[in-house]
Structure 1
Amino acid sequence: MAFTQKISLTTITMVLTMSATLAGCAEEKVAGETPIRPVKVVEVTTPDQGRIMQYSGAIRSKTEIAMGFRVDGKIVERFVDIGQSVKPGEVLARLDSVDYELSVRQAEAELASAEKQVEIAQRALRRAEFLQGKSATSQSALEQSQLAFEQAVSLRAAAASVLEQTRNKVAYSSLKSEVDGIVTAVSAEAGQVVAAGTPVVSVAAAGSMEVEIAVPEVDIAVFKPGKAVKAHLWANSDLKLDGKVREVAGSADSRSRTFAVRVSLPDDPRLLLGMTATVTAKGDDAVPAYVLPLSALSKQDGKPAVWLVDPQTETVRLRPVVVAGFSDDGVRVTEGVAAGDLVVAAGTQFMQPDMKVHLFEGDMQRAGEVVEAAPPAAS
């Protein structure tokens, strides 16, 4: 029993001694080696051309006319529908013109009567002038004849004007297109009684296309009248047109809080009313910038910075940068990096100056395409 207890104590002593020796070796190994950390990197490419704004809208005509009759009456015929092309002078709709035609006949009769009165007054004036030359009548009688003749002439002119007006009303009972265009809206049907000026048919004039977009107040300062923009159609991605801002609304929409902006487009037969177009604009003060992942951004003394990787020494160093803003792909940097630089894209919180990192040639990706580097080999 005593021998067994002695062996056990000796064994325990040897185990503790070996454990202490191995622990010391492990501490010495860790203290003597520099840890190598795997990183995610991106390669800085060419800078962009600044912040790009895109807004979509519908193509419409620059000039759209809501046409209505110049007289009131009952619509008896409508000859056009939405989407139909019309030519100048083409009849769009017609009113019941019976009453206006009767008014024409009445005006014609009144004009004929007025002309007879002029003939009678003219004969009376000539007779009075003859008698005055013979001293057979007074001067006042002659003056009365002259006034009667002048009055008859005035009544004839008034009757002629009334006749012309009634004839115009008959002509106005036919609604005719004044432009070459396309019908975009129909507001009245046959059988409906309309007042003068009530819109009946709307026609969009051909040859003057534009796209209307809604711009939020944060970007409205960029869209000034005369600014050059680009436009492309959803229906035809190959069609890209040079547009120009024609008009900017003076106030925001009460519901959407956006401003209506109209962009004029060049004439092109492929443009059709109602098509969807996207307008692309660039800020006047936009500066080129390198786009980096947002995760690559770090800080140095409270200012933005990024960690650069030296591929020769496979170490990292911190470099201050100037941030111009943000985009859909990340952060836009204008100063501090150059094309070809390798930037740590993730794990920046673990980086320290001159830290060794594990990097392979195949892990170098362009900005915006972040790929994790391979893990270090087991020691």
Structure 2
Amino acid sequence: MQPFLWLTKLPKKKLHYVLVAAAVLLCAAGILKWKEHSHPQPVTQDIPFVRTAVIGADAPPQGYTYSGEVRGRYESQLAFQVTGKIIKRNVQLGSSVNAGDILMQIDPRDLQQTVNSSSAQVYSAESQLKLAESNLHRYQQLYTQNAISRAQLDQYENAYEVAQAAVRQASSQYAQGSNQLDYSLLYADKSGVISSLSAEAGQVVSAGQTVMTIVQDGEREVEISVPENRIEELRKSTRLTVSFWALPNMKVDGKVREIAPMADPTTRTYKVRISLVNPPPEIKLGMTAAVHVVGFDGQTPGFTTIPLSAIYQTNDTPNVWIVTDQVVHLRTIQIGSFGNTQVQVLSGLNLGETIVTAGVHKLREGQTVRAKGGDSQ
């Protein structure tokens, strides 16, 4: 307070003037301060960064991929032609066999007894034939001597013909029994690889029951299952590429060879066989394969894929943010199937357009943004 002691020494009139002047100065300073704060300050607009992607024509072609298995062009299911008990199996799963190799054998004892019985019947019929032939010659001489009637001779001629028929019948039964004895051995009719076994030694099997499958040497192809809504697209495809899980650096061209006429009753999908064009020897039966459909009639399929993070959902409608001159606009799209991180877009996007792939939930219509990134989709 000492700096202000001089005020107490002033006359009252001068003190009044001093106080009035101080009040005026304070009011002027307050007015200036109020005017300074009353003027609006310029607002700095916050322009957010967003990650974008370009729907470009130079993007890799999109398509469908189907998993499958390497199979043989020709597969034969082998079975015995007679009923019996399997006593020997000479092959293992995956064994390579040649035409004429014995694969399995069933117990031939009953069949051998049938052959022995048929053989005895043949000997009996031949003996009856010899007797009938001797009688016929004898009675023919008696007939020439007019010792017997024509009716008696006809009886012996008929007996001779019956004996001949009995021999033929017994011989046929013997041949049939011999064939069945031979059927106790299961032969490989073609060279190939054993792909499946469904019977073991000691098992009783019936005639026609499949006991193994052999894949013939030669062409290789891939079997895939295709849903019914993709059959026509696959039928019209002009280019297929096949890759293999065990051979990551190998891709082989393929072509549709066969489409099943009916869907599988369980999976409701159609079996499709894809022929491999010039397959390398490294491709083995049973390998896991992926068939990629990359074009229909020389054109890429009518859809592209975008990241799931680019989808902005309003109620049940999927949308994306389109960036035009650094301004975003919301557009409705039609989507297809989903992947792990991607989704198919069937319509609503054009080549060359830029979409926002991150930060879509922080944007509003007509907002200015700054793009960050620009990967092609």
Q: TM-score range by the shorter chain?
A: 0.7 to 0.9
Q: 2:324 aligns with which of 300, 308, 313?
A: 308
- Alpha-carbon deviation of 1:144? 0.8
Give, in whole Å, the separation in 2 of the partners of 1:175 and 1:225. Answer: 43
- Cα distance change on mapping 1:88 and 1:232 into 2, 3 Å: same
Question: Is the Cα–Cα contact under 8 Å of residues 319 and 330 in structure 2 kept in the other structure?
Answer: no
Give the equivalent residue in structure 2 for 1:150: 161
- Alpha-carbon deviation of 1:154? 0.3
- Alpha-carbon deviation of 1:231? 1.5
Give, in whole Å, the separation in 2 of the partners of 1:45 and 1:323. Answer: 18
Structure 2 residues not aligned, in runs of 5+: 5-15
- Cα distance change on mapping 1:200 and 1:303 into 2, 3 Å: closer
Question: Is the Cα–Cα contact under 8 Å of residues 183 and 203 in structure 1 kept in the other structure?
Answer: yes
- Cα distance change on mapping 1:146 and 1:160 into 2, 3 Å: same
Q: 1:203 aligns with which of 214, 219, 225?
A: 214
Give, in whole Å, the separation in 1 of the partners of 2:171 and 2:181. Answer: 16
Give the equivalent residue in structure 2 for 1:175: 186
Give the equivalent residue in structure 1 for 2:104: 93
Find out whether 1:243 has 2:263 as its counterpart: no
Give the counterpart letter for 1:57 in structure 2.
G
- After superposition, residues 187-336 of structure 1 pair within 5 angstroms as 187-224=198-235, 229-237=240-248, 238-248=250-260, 250-254=262-266, 256-266=267-277, 268=279, 269-282=281-294, 284=296, 287=301, 295=310, 306-309=322-325, 316=327, 329=342, 332=345
Give, in whole Å, the separation in 2 of the partners of 1:326 and 1:95. Answer: 53
Give, in whole Å, the separation in 2 of the partners of 1:16 and 1:258. Answer: 85
Find out whether 1:24 has 2:39 as its counterpart: yes
Which deviates further from its counterpart, 195-204 or 223-232? 223-232
Give the counterpart letter for 1:113 in structure 2.
S
Give the counterpart letter for 1:367 in structure 2.
S
Give the equivalent residue in structure 1 for 2:10: none
Which deviates further from its counterpart, 63-72 or 282-291? 282-291
Question: Is the Cα–Cα contact under 8 Å of residues 39 and 346 in structure 1 kept in the other structure?
Answer: no
**SS of residue in 1 equivalent to 2:247:** coil
- Cα distance change on mapping 1:323 and 1:184 into 2, 3 Å: closer
Question: Is the Cα–Cα contact under 8 Å of residues 51 and 327 in structure 1 kept in the other structure?
Answer: no
Give, in whole Å, the separation in 1 of the partners of 2:305 and 2:104. Answer: 60
Q: 1:352 aligns with which of 344, 363, 366?
A: 366
**SS of residue in 1 equivalent to 2:286:** coil
Question: Is the Cα–Cα contact under 8 Å of residues 86 and 180 in structure 1 kept in the other structure?
Answer: yes
**SS of residue in 2 equivalent to 1:100:** helix
- Cα distance change on mapping 1:291 and 1:15 into 2, 3 Å: farther
Give, in whole Å, the separation in 1 of the partners of 2:253 and 2:53. Answer: 35
Identity of aligned residues (%): 26
Give, in whole Å, the separation in 2 of the partners of 1:123 and 1:259. Answer: 71
- Alpha-carbon deviation of 1:139? 1.1
Give the counterpart letter for 2:288 in structure 1.
T
Find out whether 1:58 has 2:69 as its counterpart: yes
Find out whether 1:37 has 2:52 as its counterpart: no
Q: Larger radius of gyration, structure 1 or 2?
A: 2
**Structure 1 length-normalised TM:** 0.73
Give, in whole Å, the separation in 2 of the partners of 1:336 and 1:64. Answer: 47
- Alpha-carbon deviation of 1:150? 0.8
**SS of residue in 1 equivalent to 2:33:** helix
Give, in whole Å, the separation in 2 of the partners of 1:227 and 1:120. Answer: 78
Give, in whole Å, the separation in 2 of the partners of 1:230 and 1:141. Answer: 86
Count of matched residue pairs: 349
1:284-316 deviations in Å (ceiling 9; x for gaps): 4855667666739899xx99883322xxxxx65
Give the equivalent residue in structure 2 for 1:14: 29
- Alpha-carbon deviation of 1:358? 5.3
Give the equivalent residue in structure 1 for 2:375: 366
- Cα distance change on mapping 1:275 and 1:337 into 2, 3 Å: closer
1:6-25 deviations in Å (ceiling 9; x for gaps): 95796476345424334415
Q: 1:185 aligns with which of 196, 215, 225?
A: 196
Give the counterpart letter for 1:138 in structure 2.
S
Question: Is the Cα–Cα contact under 8 Å of residues 335 and 343 in structure 2 kept in the other structure?
Answer: no
Find out whether 1:74 has 2:116 as its counterpart: no
Give, in whole Å, the separation in 1 of the partners of 2:105 and 2:357. Answer: 72
Structure 1 residues not aligned, in runs of 5+: 310-314, 369-379
Give, in whole Å, the separation in 1 of the partners of 2:214 and 2:283. Answer: 17
Give the counterpart letter for 1:148 in structure 2.
A
- Alpha-carbon deviation of 1:260? 3.5
**Structure 2 length-normalised TM:** 0.74
- Cα distance change on mapping 1:81 and 1:7 into 2, 3 Å: farther
Give, in whole Å, the separation in 2 of the partners of 1:80 and 1:181. Answer: 12
Question: Is the Cα–Cα contact under 8 Å of residues 223 and 245 in structure 1 kept in the other structure?
Answer: no
Which deviates further from its counterpart, 290-299 or 149-158? 290-299
Give, in whole Å, the separation in 2 of the partners of 1:100 and 1:326. Answer: 61
Give the counterpart letter for 2:252 in structure 1.
K
Give, in whole Å, the separation in 2 of the partners of 1:66 and 1:119. Answer: 48
